[in-house]
Amino acid sequence: MSDLLLDVKNLETHFKTEEGLVKAVNNVSFSLNRRETVGIVGESGSGKSVTSLSVMRLIPDPPGKIVGGSINYYGDDGSVTDLTTLSEAEMRKYRGNEISMIFQEPMTSLNPVFTCGNQVIEAIRLHQNVSKQEAIDQTLALFEKVQLPTPERILKAYPHQLSGGQKQRVMIAMAMSCNPKILIADEPTTALDVTVQKTILELMANLKNEIDSSIIFITHDLGVIAEIADRVIVMYKGKIVEQGDVYSIFSNPQHPYTKGLLACRPPLNRRLSQLPTVSDFMREEDGQMIEVKASVEEMLSGFEITHEQHREHLNQLKKQEPLLEVRNLRTWFPSGKNFFGKTTSWVKAVDDVSFDVYPGETLGLVGESGCGKTTLGRSLLRLAPAREGEVIYRGKDILKLTKAEMKELRREVQIIFQDPYSSLNPRLTIGNAIMEPMQVHGVYDTDSQRKDRVVELLETVSLKAHHFNRYPHEFSGGQRQRICVARSLALNPKFIICDESVSALDVSVQAQVLNLLNELQNKLDLTYIFISHDLSVVKFMSDRMVVMNQGVIEEMGPADDICLNPQTAYTQRLISAIPKGLVEEIKVRKGV
Amino acid sequence: MLSYILKRSVYGVLVLFGVAMLIFAMFKLLPDPARMTMGQRPDVATIEAIRKAQHLDEPIYMQLAYYLNDISPVSIHEDTAENREEYAYTKLLGLGSNALVIKAPYLGRSMQNRKRVTEIIWEAVPTTAILGISAMLIASVIGILFGIIAALNQFKFLDNAILSTTVLGISQPSYFSGVVLGLVFGYWLADWTGLSNTGPLFEMVGLSDELTFQPKNLILPALALGIRPIAIIVQLTRSSMLDVLSQDYIRTARAKGLSKWMVIFKHGLRNAMNPVVTTISGWFASVLAGSFFIEIIFDCKGLGFQTVMALNNFDLPVIMGAVLFVATIFVTVNIFVDLIYGVLDPRVSYAA
């Protein structure tokens, strides 16, 4: 039995689109050995998902098609099969049986109308000749193995009754059900909280050893790769730009793109004035790639701020009068009602929360999903109804403002939402979208003056004036978030709430948007509340930080202090769950 | 769940109460019913007698009270032999000369032939019910089938052909397709099809007194009534199916190694049916409306036919009774549909 399990050679997968032929996977070759975990990393559109779907032969056709190359699968009996030449019926014997797959979105990857048990049983009975009872027993055993609580209950539960992490465990159980030789995991933890991500990664590593399989792990986050992979493949624009074992990639990256990916993750243990981005290492001019010769470390230390400098900055901030004072804020949602519609029980999303925000400061708000951080942000602007408490902005209680005063306030306080895809109206050109708030609030007298302002704003967020008449779908996720930033700046606000504003973006794009926000803060004297589930991002952005858990404040203080010296068990757990991607840790894990 | 049904039923009764008020108000705007009842014979004494019998001499709020008391299943009546005969009630509690009673809603008697309105409606219901249900059955089966075919052949010839046909189907009202179908299949091609242009669903055959069901008289009206729903269901099934087939869980099902047809019918169709079922039940209501025309065109003596006849004759009690009955059907169907959602989609919760 050879050690080789999968050998992909010169794979070409093309998509026919309205703009012409897209070579999503362009001459890609790599191999996978038995019991090995290979990580494929790259930003969205780099072709990493298409590569994995090509192996499964699940490319939607039309518009996609594998047009060249081979995917050789080495069976246990010594046979070699080129998967690209199999008929659809033959391929089905491999799918779910020899090669199985876990997808990114556990929320939508399970069929909502069948029970979780049924969906796993279906997979088992499809590939194994067993009775229904036996399949049920196997499923229960699998649920036990993926550490789901109360397997009997989950067997009969529908997907919507489970949490995201539990759903992903069901997906893993389904993928593992026929002891596959290859498990392809396409961003399996991207949609999950860091704490849940950590447990899922551990689970996958354990199961891999137990059933003796190999994993192809796809992600945009090198930090996750460092935790799980043996070998790393870096993809960029449909091509492999670098591959090697995980230690050498992290300790000595060669390609500027790899360096960029490594450097753009916000570090926990040091403070930077700005994040290096991929474009700091390479840029394209006339189709030629120009490389900047610099190591990751050189780039990072160039942006570093010392502890003393930052402490000085904090002291300066605290000398001022607070811009916003939140006192004993409570936002409860009714969770149970009796027959006559009277509320009998409450979900206490925000419960007795108090804090101050100083002018020019960034206050970070961090916690797991469901901890109440988003509701808190919305309550401040009365987008969620607060039950009691005070939100004092420049001496006035926002919760008691009249409608006219509230409109006035909305000029000064803006919010940037999480999803740049759904927070822009698809039928409005971006120029009009940015102009709209100015028209509503009567800023400037004529539309031509407003247009000039929009162009100015577009340039502020590094977009071009000629983008004015384009529609949102013509822009990438990062560009759309820039547009949202420009729109929120249209009214010259003083205070901006960023609600998970970079969570939907790739790490490399995230770094650009974070830098932009910081730059704007300095230039326009803005004050931010920065809400995110990602502690490292919050730490990079904020001067002070609030850690929330189940509606109450768990810990509050200077961001550096909390990260370096967390006081509560909850914060410690959050910090330890972050994939840090440190070379030393890889060294220990791989025993180099 | 039980609490949900109870709550919905209470709302339903409230809606019906509103409908009853509306009916009462609208018919109060018409000229003196007593005179209309009498037709061409203006005899003051008789008119006064009728006025008295129908409480028309009393103030309007008393008239409303009498009306609501009549249609309510639990009501108070003077406990006389006459009333016992007329209302056919069961006495619950004696209140002096009056009695609290339970009864079937009393809708009065036709002004034309003194027949009980309830009786007229009951005789008409089977025809309309059979017509409506068969129309919707035809529409559902054909609609869903062609919807799936169109979805699986998206942007190909078959899809385009089906879609353009549905546009034709949607664009014509049922009274038009009814006339055309009757003319083509019941007249021009009658020798081949063996169908007649018009004919009731229940007929006395030969010398027998019994009404027998005539299935061949059902085909054309049911088809005419079903054409628009077919077109709508095709389009809806198609778009819903296309939407579902692009979902992540369909990819998961394929990644399991399921065959194409298993994926489409087991994982796809079940999810795609939700909006379709909503529409089908919504169309039940519209079909009731459509059957008013169709029953006239094809001479089926159903609820629609009787109502139109009553309208022609200003037979107020029949019209008021029929409207109230149709409203009750609407409310009941709607509650039923909401319950079906829960069966189809486990995510629907019936939190009260």
In a domain, B112, yes or no: no
- Identify the bridge partners of residue A66 per DSSP, sorted by sequence position: A13
Window 145-174 of B: residues touching A by CB (8 A cutoff) are: none
Rounded CA-CA distance B329/B336 in Å is: 10
Question: Burial, B351: exposed, middle or buried (Cβ in 10 Å; 0-12, 13-18, 19+)?
Answer: exposed
Question: What pLDDT is attached to residue B352?
Answer: 45
Q: Which of A96, A113, A123 sits opposite B346 (nearest CB)?
A: A113
Same domain, yes or no, for B134 and B82? Answer: no
- Name the pLDDT band for A478 (thresholds 50, 70, 90): confident
Rounded CA-CA distance B218/B135 in Å is: 9
Q: Which of B258, B260, B271 sits opposite A112 (nearest CB)?
A: B271
Q: ∠ CA(A137), CA(A139), CA(A140), 5° rounding? A: 65
Same domain, yes or no, for B333 and B251? Answer: yes
Same domain, yes or no, for B226 and B136? Answer: yes
Q: Is this prediction's pTM over 0.95?
A: no
Question: Mean pLDDT, chain A, as a whole number?
Answer: 87
Examine the fold and report which residue of B63, B87, B106 is the final residue of a domain before the chain moves on. B106
Give the minimum alpha-carbon distance from A96 to chain B in angstroms, rounded to a whole number: 4
In a domain, B307, yes or no: yes
Rounded CA-CA distance A344/B104 in Å is: 39
Rounded CA-CA distance B158/B114 in Å is: 57
- Which residues in chain A touch residue B254, judged by CB atoms under 8 angstroms apart? 58, 95
Q: Which of A477, A43, A21, A37 is nearest to A235 (CA)?
A: A43
Same domain, yes or no, for B206 and B180? Answer: yes
pLDDT exceeds cutoff 70 at B274: yes
Give the minimum alpha-carbon distance from B21 to chain A in angstroms, rounded to a whole number: 25
Same domain, yes or no, for B124 and B12? Answer: no
In a domain, B351, yes or no: no
Percent of chain B predicted with pLDDT > 90: 15
| Through-space distance between the first and last CA atoms of chain A, rounded to whole angstroms | 27
Give the minimum alpha-carbon distance from A110 to chain B in angstroms, rounded to a whole number: 5
For residue range A250-301, list pLDDT tens digits in order: 888 888 888 888 888 888 888 888 888 888 888 777 777 777 777 878 778 8
In the structure encoding, which two tokens stand for residue A543, read together? 């001067």
- Name the pLDDT band for A396 (thresholds 50, 70, 90): confident
SS3 category, A196: helix
In a domain, B123, yes or no: yes
Window 266-325 of B: residues touching A by CB (8 A cutoff) are: 267, 270-271
Q: How many domains does chain B have?
A: 3
Query: Is the complex ipTM higher than 0.90?
Result: no
- Which residues in chain B touch residue A92, judged by CB atoms under 8 angstroms apart? 257-259
A58 to B254: CB separation less than 8 angstroms, yes or no: yes
**What is the average pLDDT across A437-457?**
88
Give the minimum alpha-carbon distance from B351 to chain A in angstroms, rounded to a whole number: 8
Q: How many CA atoms lie within 13 A of A31 on its CB side?
A: 10
Q: Which of A92, A111, A114 sits opposite B257 (nearest CB)?
A: A92
Q: How many CA atoms lie within 13 A of A488 on its CB side?
A: 27
Rounded CA-CA distance B242/B233 in Å is: 14
Same domain, yes or no, for B171 and B286? Answer: yes
B252 to A88: CB separation less than 8 angstroms, yes or no: no
B255 to A96: CB separation less than 8 angstroms, yes or no: yes
Interface contact B347, partner A, CB < 8 A:
yes
**What is the average pLDDT across A478-490?**
86
Rounded CA-CA distance B89/B87 in Å is: 5
Kindly report the three-state secondary structure assignment for every residue of A505-553: CCHHHHHHHHHHHHHHHHHHCCEEEEEECCHHHHHHHCCEEEEEECCEE
Same domain, yes or no, for B202 and B313? Answer: yes
Residues in contact with A168: Cβ distance below 8 Å, sequence separation at least 6, in sequence order: A102, A106, A188, A189, A192, A196, A200
Kindly report the three-state secondary structure assignment for every residue of B133-189: HHHHHHHHHHHHHHHHHHHHCCCCHHHHHHHHHHHHHHHCCHHHHHHHHHHHHHHHC
Q: Say which DSSP state B12 is in.
A: H
Same domain, yes or no, for B66 and B102? Answer: no
- Which residues in chain A touch residue B346, judged by CB atoms under 8 angstroms apart? 112-113, 158, 160
Measured in degrees and rounded to the nearest 5, phi and psi for residue A289 equal -90, 125
Which of B8, B9, B242, B252 best tests the A interface by mutation, with the highest count of A CBs <10 A? Answer: B252
Least confident of A104-108, A374-378, A429-433: A104-108
Report in angstroms the alpha-carbon separations of A356 from A362, A390, B275. 11, 12, 49
Q: Which of A56, A108, A122 sits opposite B255 (nearest CB)?
A: A56
Same domain, yes or no, for B188 and B306? Answer: yes
Domain extent for B323 = 117-344
In a domain, B352, yes or no: no
Same domain, yes or no, for B41 and B151? Answer: no
Question: Closest-CA residue in chain B for A53?
Answer: B255
Question: Closest-CA residue in chain B for A91?
Answer: B257
**Do residues B351 and A337 touch, judged by C-beta distance below 8 A?**
yes
Give the minimum alpha-carbon distance from B151 to chain A in angstroms, rounded to a whole number: 14
Q: Which of A212, A553, A587 is nearest to A389 (CA)?
A: A553
**Do residues A219 and A190 touch, judged by C-beta distance below 8 A?**
yes
Question: Closest-CA residue in chain B for A339?
Answer: B352
What CATH number is associated with residue B199?
Answer: 1.10.3720.10
In a domain, B252, yes or no: yes
In the structure encoding, which two tokens stand for residue B296, read together? 């006239």
Question: What pLDDT is attached to residue A235?
Answer: 92
Percent of chain A predicted with pLDDT > 90: 19
**What is the average pLDDT across A25-41?**
91
Q: Return the number of CB contacts < 8 Å for A and B.
A: 75
Q: Helix B117-152 and helix B316-344: axis angle, to 10°? A: 40
- Which residues in chain B touch residue A122, judged by CB atoms under 8 angstroms apart? 256, 258
For residue range A140-179, list pLDDT tens digits in order: 998 988 888 888 898 999 988 888 888 888 998 898 888 8
Question: What pLDDT is attached to residue B31?
Answer: 67
Rounded CA-CA distance A152/A349 in Å is: 30
Question: Closest-CA residue in chain A for B258?
Answer: A92
- Which residues in chain B touch residue A337, judged by CB atoms under 8 angstroms apart? 351-352
In a domain, B111, yes or no: no
Q: Which of B248, B257, B346 sits opposite A93 (nearest CB)?
A: B257
Length of chain A equals 592
Same domain, yes or no, for B82 and B23? Answer: no
Question: What pLDDT is attached to residue A368?
Answer: 85
Q: Which residue has the tokens 């919707």?
A: B136
A109 to B7: CB separation less than 8 angstroms, yes or no: no
Rounded CA-CA distance B89/B320 in Å is: 21
More confident: A411 or B234:
B234
pLDDT exceeds cutoff 80 at B41: no
Rounded CA-CA distance A579/A222 in Å is: 9
Question: What pLDDT is attached to residue B92?
Answer: 82
Same domain, yes or no, for B330 and B261? Answer: yes
In the structure encoding, which two tokens stand for residue B108, read together? 């009065």
What sign results for the dihedral spanned by CA atoms A376, A382, A386, A390?
A: positive
pLDDT exceeds cutoff 70 at B36: no
B248 to A108: CB separation less than 8 angstroms, yes or no: yes
- Name the pLDDT band for B32 (thresholds 50, 70, 90): low
- Name the pLDDT band for A447 (thresholds 50, 70, 90): confident
Give the minimum alpha-carbon distance from A93 to chain B in angstroms, rounded to a whole number: 6
pLDDT exceeds cutoff 70 at A336: yes
**What is the average pLDDT across B257-263?**
88
Question: Closest-CA residue in chain A for B246?
Answer: A60
- Give me the amino acid identity at B149: I
Rounded CA-CA distance B232/B148 in Å is: 13
In a domain, B162, yes or no: yes
| Through-space distance between the first and last CA atoms of chain B, rounded to whole angstroms | 8
Q: ∠ CA(B261), CA(B348), CA(A330), 5° rounding? A: 135
Q: How many CA atoms lie within 13 A of A547 on its CB side?
A: 24
For residue range B173-210, list pLDDT tens digits in order: 888 888 888 888 888 888 887 777 777 777 766 666 77
pLDDT exceeds cutoff 70 at B34: no
